Homo-oligomer: A and B are copies of this chain.
Amino acid sequence: MPTPHYGQPRYRVIADELKKRIEGGVIPAGSLLPSESALCAEFQAARGTIRKAIAVLRNASLVATEHGRGTYANLQPGGGQTDEDLESETLQRQVLADIELAALFDVDVGAVLIEQQLVDRRNGAVSRVVRTYRSLRSNG
The verdict on A106 contacting chain B, using a C-beta distance below 8 Å, is yes
Q: How many residues of A contact B (CB 8 A)?
A: 38
Number of copies: 2
Q: What are 22 contact pairs spanning A and B, CB under 8 A?
A: A30-B137, A64-B92, A64-B116, A66-B91, A66-B93, A69-B94, A75-B134, A76-B140, A105-B129, A106-B125, A106-B126, A122-B140, A127-B135, A127-B138, A128-B134, A128-B138, A129-B133, A129-B134, A130-B132, A131-B131, A131-B132, A131-B133
Q: Does A139 contact B (CB under 8 A)?
A: yes
How distant is the Cα of A5 from the Cα of B69 in the complex, in angstroms? 20
**A120-B134 Cα distance, complex, nearest whole Å:** 10
